[in-house]
Amino acid sequence: MTPHECGMITRMEDISPRPLAIIKLGETFDTLRERRGDFEHWMAAGLGNTRLPVVVLDPRRGDTLPRPAEISGAIVSGSHAMVSHREPWSEATGAWLAQLVASRTPVLGICFGHQLLAHALGGEAGDHPGGMEIGTVEVELTPEAAADPLMHDLPPRFDAHVVHRQSALRLPAGAVRLAGNDFERTQAFRIGENAWGVQFHPEFDADIMRGYVDHLAEPLRAEGVDPAALRDRVAGTATAARLLGRFAHIAEEHDAAAHPGRS
């Protein structure tokens, strides 16, 4: 289902299953996109065998963001933009995310999306005082993750891919911190019942992560970081990758609850 087709439906909330929306707020580097596709392709592939139709919407180009009742859930992509710059499209998307959270519509914000979700609900996003975190890093769950619908049975520590200069510096009131590490205190959080932010990239595989390290090699060297050593430490992140499929299942359950007796 395309954004144009969605616009032709008068009451999309009556359609079952309702689409899962990928909100595209950025794109990867040209050389990587030519070889591997872009954020939306990686996220869609990570969803696995979901029964939900997937629609990609880009508010930067003027796509209309649907009403909460019209979708089963939303995944908000990363971006090379910065939440703290408060671009009009970013602020408008943040206001829409607040509506989704209020309506209990499942949300998963990734990297920029994670920071935007925190900002939109009253937290703060900005430059991390330690600079850039990039590569394959270990993430540690908090005790609160044991009861979380998305993360409840993950191992207490697992590897994940990261690349970011900004962070969710302060979480919104009522948010539950779910994961962190020595560099980034908030690698994951939940706000409300069905909204999550993850600073790491569950949609990245090792090849994509190496592509980011290679592309950013010069600025990394300028900061005294050895990109070759980072590249050598890139590893598989199968546990982190599972989160996309888990989120798709949560969105399926949310859609099914809106249409009991229908499949």
- pLDDT for 3 equals 38
CATH number of the domain where residue 31 is located: 3.40.50.880
Report residue 241: phi and psi, to 5°.
-65, -25
The predicted model gives 26-30 an average pLDDT of 97
DSSP string, 60-85: GGTPPPPPGGG-SEEEE---SS-GGG
Q: Is residue 165 part of a domain?
A: yes
Query: How do residues 43-98 score in pLDDT, each as one tens digit?
Result: 999 999 999 999 999 999 999 999 999 999 999 999 999 999 999 999 999 999 99
* Bridge partner residues of 56 (DSSP): 22
pLDDT in tens, 221-235: 999 999 999 999 999
Residue 1 has what DSSP assignment? -
Contact 111, 86 (CB under 8 A): no
Which residues have C-beta within 8 Å of that of residue 172, sequence separation ≥ 6?
118, 121, 122, 123, 191
pTM for the whole thing? Answer: 0.93
For residues 180-189, give the mean pLDDT.
Answer: 98
Whole-angstrom distance, CA of residue 184 vs CA of residue 104: 27
Which of 38, 115, 75 is closest to 246 using CA atoms?
75
For residue 247, being part of any structural domain is answered with yes
pLDDT band at 262 (very low <50, low <70, confident <90, very high): low
Residue 131 within a domain: yes
pLDDT the model gives residue 109 = 98
Q: What is the chain's length?
A: 263
The per-residue pLDDT for range 115-130, each reduced to its tens digit, is 999 999 999 999 999 9
Residue 263 domain-assigned (yes or no)? no
> Does a structural domain hold residue 55?
yes
DSSP strands (E only) in the chain = 20-23, 54-57, 73-76, 107-110, 124-127, 133-141, 157-164, 166-170, 176-180, 188-191, 195-198
Lowest mean pLDDT among 11-20, 55-64, 113-122, 187-196: 11-20
Sheet of strand 20-23, all strands in order from the earlier edge strand to the far edge: 54-57, 20-23, 73-76, 107-110, 195-198, 188-191, 176-180, 133-141, 157-164
* Amino acid 1: pLDDT: 39
Average confidence (pLDDT) over 175-180: 98
In a domain, 208, yes or no: yes
Residue 105 falls within a domain, yes or no?
yes
Write out the residue range of the structural domain in which residue 42 sits. Answer: 3-258
Residues serving a catalytic function are 111, 201, 203
> What pLDDT was estimated at residue 259?
73
Number of structural domains the chain divides into: 1
The pLDDT, as a whole number, for residue 12 is 56
> Tell me, what's the pLDDT at 16?
77
- Is residue 117 in some structural domain? yes
- Average pLDDT taken over every residue of the chain: 94
Which of 258, 141, 128 minimizes the C-alpha distance to 196?
141
